[in-house]
Amino acid sequence: MLTAIIVVLQILASIALIFLILMHSGKGGGLSDMFGGSVGSAAAGSTVVEKNLDRITVVVAVIFAFTNIILLLRLQ
């Protein structure tokens, strides 16, 4: 039962990571430009929205890493 919960959590984290990484604006912009996140290239990455997106991405990546480690230990 616990393994199934961890697997579901890992799947949700992986989908969230894909979405969050696509939301980041790169050199030429990204999907974040479609949702009103377009900022001039001089100010890119310095907005509050971009900083919060970075923080959320790091938290979800840590959750994904921990679920990987937990599943590795449980399935050995």
* Residue whose C-alpha is closest to residue 53's, from 72, 28, 36, 70: 36
pLDDT at 44 over 60: no
- What integer pLDDT is reported at residue 37 of this predicted model? 58
**pLDDT class for 70, splitting at 50, 70, 90?**
very high
pLDDT in tens, 6-42: 999 999 999 999 999 999 877 655 565 666 655 555 5
Q: Do 9 and 67 touch, CB atoms closer than 8 A?
A: yes
pLDDT in tens, 48-58: 888 999 999 99
DSSP string computed for 41-61: TTTTT-SHHHHHHHHHHHHHH
- Phi and psi at residue 61, to the nearest 5°: -65, -40
The rounded radius of gyration (Å) of the Cα atoms in the chain is 16
* Residue whose C-alpha is closest to residue 57's, from 10, 11, 18, 28: 18
Q: What predicted TM-score, i.e. pTM, was given to this entire model?
A: 0.73
